[in-house]
Amino acid sequence: MIAEKMVGFVENNSAIRMMFEEGKRLSKLYGAENVYDFSLGNPNVPAPCAVDNAIKDILDSEDSSYVHGYMSNAGYEDVRRTIADSLNRRFGTDFTDRNLIMTVGAAGGLNVIFRALLNPGDEVITFAPYFLEYRAYVGNFDGVLVEVPPNIPSFLPNLKELEKRITPRTKCVLINNPNNPTGVVYPENIIRELTAIIERKSFEFNTDIYLISDEPYRELVYDGVNVPYLTKYYANTVVGYSFSKSLSLPGERIGYIAVPNEMKDFDTVVSALTIANRILGYVNAPSLIQRAVARAIDSKTDVGYYDRNRKLLYSTLKNLGFDIVKPEGAFYLFVKSPVEDEKIFCDMAKEENIIMVPGSSFACPGYVRLAYCVSYETIERSIPAWNRLMEKLKKGNLNLK
């Protein structure tokens, strides 16, 4: 018999994955070009050539037992130094290799962070809508995820509601900026207010509250929007970064955690994170791709590609009358469902071969998420299907909102 904790996971296997499987099934039936699958955040812009070239060059020129060998559990020192230098140049931080721990993507990084910080019953506060895996990651270490309800329509963090939820049991506040699923970017004034609240509350309760910043979409921003670097605003910040989206390498499983020098008990926290990386069984982040991302650290994905998609999908749906949060980052559109139950709306869209994910998969029913990391042509081809869907919505005897 499997572990009791796993039963729920097995029964409610990720809706996003289920929609993705549904997309594959419909593609077999109708042909891939006739299915408009906006379900999965799998980057479709290829990784920059610099990454593939780096891998080839590393294999040709570096010592094989070094490249494929174990290293420090935090990752290769020179890799961490290269990333630290890049962050210092970009964000004015003062990092060295000691501030960084290479991880198995953002998912691995978050598990390492929660392993290192949480005692059973400790609370982690996050803002709905959020990446639902957070609940599992916190639960892995018997922590309790506390939700702040969605702040509709801006989807910026609701700071009043945050303040009410901070208790002596609060160990972490977890934010995701730019945000999945809304594409909203939290600006500096919100970050300042948020960190001031956490500061005040940790003083009031005499507790250490950690601010966890999950940042896989940091590089995917549009119109020159600035994403504040959080270690500058709050000392007890842990940044979780990933190359999955920024360099289109989700299958390679590579990212890092950054901890600022101002962190209380810096050495102990960094040791705990490093040991957590080992004892969770990751041991260290994959070696070859660590070396490759260091060589390609100045490469960028083609954000212009996603921007074109964003503009086309946003304007198409807006012109049809859909109510949408204007996304400034990531590659998602969060659309208000025109029918009360967004799952019904998803089913109606599926009849037109449009696949999207219900907002309840992000703790925000009444909305749906569209991932526009697809080809531009897919969006163009989907336009008649969106038109038909809107016609159906207008004709149907539905509880239109």
Q: Report the residue from 38, 131, 314, 322 that binds ligand PLP according to the rule CB under 6 A.
A: 131
Least Å from the CB of residue 40 to ligand PLP: 9
How many whole angstroms separate alpha carbon 76 and alpha carbon 289? 11
Is 41 a binder of ligand PLP (CB under 6 A)?
Answer: yes
Quick one: which segment of 100-108, 277-285, 312-320, 347-355 binds ligand PLP (CB under 6 A)?
100-108
Give the 3-state secondary structure of residue 139.
Answer: helix
Is 38 a binder of ligand PLP (CB under 6 A)?
Answer: no
Residue 12, burial from CB neighbour count under 10 angstroms (0-12, 13-18, 19+) = exposed
Task: Sheet containing 255-258: give its strands across.
Answer: 100-103, 255-258, 237-242, 210-214, 170-176, 123-127, 144-148
Quick one: which segment of 53-61, 242-250, 305-313, 383-391 binds ligand PLP (CB under 6 A)?
242-250
Least Å from the CB of residue 277 to ligand PLP: 14
Q: Are 9 and 137 in contact (CB under 8 A)?
A: no
Residues between 148 and 177 that touch ligand PLP (CB under 6 A): 176
Quick one: which segment of 17-25, 105-113, 205-213, 387-395 binds ligand PLP (CB under 6 A)?
105-113
How many whole angstroms separate alpha carbon 170 and alpha carbon 144? 9
Quick one: which segment of 19-27, 43-51, 94-102, 104-112 binds ligand PLP (CB under 6 A)?
104-112
Q: Which is nearer to ligand PLP, 23 or 255 (CB)?
A: 255
| Contact partners, residue 89, CB within 8 Å, separation at least 6 | none
Quick one: which segment of 89-97, 103-111, 338-346, 368-376 binds ligand PLP (CB under 6 A)?
103-111
Is 252 a binder of ligand PLP (CB under 6 A)?
Answer: no
Q: Which is nearer to ligand PLP, 113 or 348 (CB)?
A: 113
| Contact partners, residue 399, CB within 8 Å, separation at least 6 | 339, 340
Give the 3-state secondary structure of residue 307.
Answer: helix
Is 342 a binder of ligand PLP (CB under 6 A)?
Answer: no
The two tokens of residue 216 are: 């896989």
The angle formed by the CA atoms of residues 161, 264 and 115, to the nearest 5 degrees, is: 70
Q: What DSSP assignment string belongs to 216-234?
A: TTTT-B-TT-----GGGT-
Least Å from the CB of residue 341 to ligand PLP: 25
Q: Which is nearer to ligand PLP, 185 or 393 (CB)?
A: 185
How many whole angstroms separate alpha carbon 217 and alpha carbon 238? 16
How many whole angstroms separate alpha carbon 80 and alpha carbon 87? 11
Is 126 a binder of ligand PLP (CB under 6 A)?
Answer: no
Is 290 a binder of ligand PLP (CB under 6 A)?
Answer: no
Is 250 a binder of ligand PLP (CB under 6 A)?
Answer: yes
Least Å from the CB of residue 213 to ligand PLP: 11
Is 214 a binder of ligand PLP (CB under 6 A)?
Answer: yes
Q: Are 344 and 277 in contact (CB under 8 A)?
A: no
Is 216 a binder of ligand PLP (CB under 6 A)?
Answer: yes
Binding positions for ligand PLP, rule: CB under 6 A: 41, 105-107, 131, 176, 180, 214, 216, 242, 244, 250, 255
